[in-house]
Structure 1
């Protein structure tokens, strides 16, 4: 946010640590003409902006990993998406608590809700198996 001091940023990190969110939608502030914030004199330097973004991104990866890990060996309902995961070509979908899971399966399972057992969690992927 324009004019955010390091102390304010640390307070944000402390709050995130306290609430331990499952996901964080992270984006850097960018000036938009016509908004009140566009008139602020004080701005965070591009270097500080990048560094803070990376710090929150790193926190989000760790927080998400910890959150998703609690579901290993548990069955969750998954809404299977119409398209396969582009990286793995596996089926993919979201659980009721918004965990993205990839798993093997036939195309006939697309656009359905089915039980999937979480079998592995990495920093960026949750893998499952149709239960």
Structure 2
């Protein structure tokens, strides 16, 4: 499958990877959290990430999360929140000054975060493949 010549190879592998990762993370998380807005602002202002890849991974992740993975993310989040070995960790997170804004006490947010971490190898392969097939300018 050939990539159309309109795609510019000016974006580095890391920029494409971050756009795919952050887009998928925004798609997996259930609501617009304070942390999501902060990540989006960093992506817009500082990193100059390619928007097409961020939007594509957001759409794929949102559709997958909304229809297929919601029950799985909730079960994983509940399992982690009810784990007795992690009680001290969750208590310390709740006492921290900024961490309660991340809503990690919500099972859906916690499950979505873990799923986002687990998809890093997939998006790394996609970014590598896109960068490898892009025409050089």
Per the TM superposition, whether the score is higher than 0.5 is no
Could you say which structure has the larger radius of gyration?
Answer: 1
User: Larger helix proportion, structure 1 or 2?
Assistant: 2
Calculate the TM-score normalised by the size of structure 1.
Answer: 0.26
